[in-house]
């Protein structure tokens, strides 16, 4: 497939479509009263976006795999990609814990007063149902990695390489990828993950690779979601316990940061030498003119 064909995908139309889907989903959220309604809405949005991208793919004959997996991936490369992906997800959890613990220590007195005014709720009654777990898994571990990788790496990243260097294209597509995650913490780490996924895609030229890495990252988030919802009561920690948690997570943060830096230096040192998978748009126009 000629990369210039990717310009047939009009991003503004997809944005309008996505906005329409979100508006429709919010309307459904307020007018319906079904179990796991939020997860069903997310499922509806994900399936709609995936169907739109599949329609565009078929309409314009987009291809996302230029090389088979067995030609580009070895056990060593899988270990490299999975290790850096896991580190990014773990450091996100650790950093979030650090921020929440600091907030708790700063406002501990006010938080305790707030809890004293409200009766403790029974977490057994608000614990997510099995249906929520199933839908949450399908949404973030299956659907999201497929349609997000098709859009951000398969279409946008490759379109950007028509005009910019692969390094700049990866960074710009990752910034957009980070912004859609909205949460300020997730924006930063989604950007970092997007850079890894973008590099993996341009290096392997197979969309399945970033899809699987993305799914692995989200599966770790799913495990955290399940774990945090197993508690049956809210027990505010003492000041000393909170300080110990803070120190422990700060130590984890520096260890993970050191590991990430080591992996980036060791496994991504050829990032600067990454070549464009397609000629720049200006060069291609000159060739066609000649």
Question: Nearest-CA neighbor of 225 among 143, 145, 137, 124?
Answer: 137
Q: What share of the chain is helix, strand, coil (3-state, %, to 5)?
A: 80, 0, 20
Cβ–Cβ < 8 Å for 80, 217: no
pLDDT tens string 101-148: 999 999 998 888 877 776 555 545 567 888 999 999 999 999 999 999
Q: How many CB atoms lie within 10 A of CB 229?
A: 13
Q: Which residue has the tokens 């989604």?
A: 190
pLDDT at 286 over 70: no
- Residue ranges of the domains in the chain? 3-285
Residue 73's alpha-carbon distances to 23, 150, 206, 272, 290, in angstroms, are: 41, 19, 10, 21, 38
d(CA 2, CA 146) in angstroms, rounded, equals 22
pLDDT tens string 198-209: 999 999 999 999
Averaged pLDDT, 153-180: 94
The residues pairing with 5 across neighbouring beta strands, listed in sequence order, are none
Whether pTM > 0.85 for this model: the answer is yes
């Amino acid at each position: 497939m000629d990369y210039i064909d990717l310009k047939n995908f009009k991003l503004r139309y997809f944005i309008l479509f996505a906005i329409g889907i979100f508006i429709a989903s919010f309307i459904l959220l307020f007018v319906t009263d079904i179990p796991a309604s939020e997860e069903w809405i997310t499922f509806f949005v994900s399936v709609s976006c995936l169907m739109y991208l599949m329609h565009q793919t078929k309409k314009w004959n987009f291809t996302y795999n230029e090389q088979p997996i067995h030609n580009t991936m070895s056990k060593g490369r899988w270990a490299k990609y999975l290790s850096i992906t896991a580190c990014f997800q773990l450091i996100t959890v650790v950093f979030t814990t650090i921020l929440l613990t600091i907030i708790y220590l700063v406002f501990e007195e006010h938080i305790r007063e707030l809890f004293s005014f409200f009766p403790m709720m029974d977490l057994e009654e608000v614990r997510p149902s099995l249906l929520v777990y199933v839908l949450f898994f399908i949404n973030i571990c299956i659907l999201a990695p497929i349609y997000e990788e098709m859009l951000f790496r398969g279409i946008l990243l490759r379109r950007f390489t028509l005009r910019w260097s692969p390094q700049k294209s990866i960074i710009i597509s990752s910034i957009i990828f980070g912004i859609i995650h909205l949460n300020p913490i997730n924006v930063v780490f989604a950007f970092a993950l997007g850079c890894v996924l973008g590099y993996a895609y341009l290096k392997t030229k197979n969309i399945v690779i970033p899809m699987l890495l993305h799914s692995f990252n989200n599966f770790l988030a799913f495990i955290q979601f399940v774990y945090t919802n197993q508690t049956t009561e809210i027990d505010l920690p003492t000041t000393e316990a909170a300080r110990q948690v803070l120190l422990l997570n700060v130590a984890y943060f520096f260890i993970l940061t050191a590991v990430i830096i080591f992996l980036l230096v060791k496994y991504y040192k050829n990032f600067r030498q990454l070549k464009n998978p397609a000629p720049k748009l200006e060069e291609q126009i000159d060739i066609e003119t000649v």
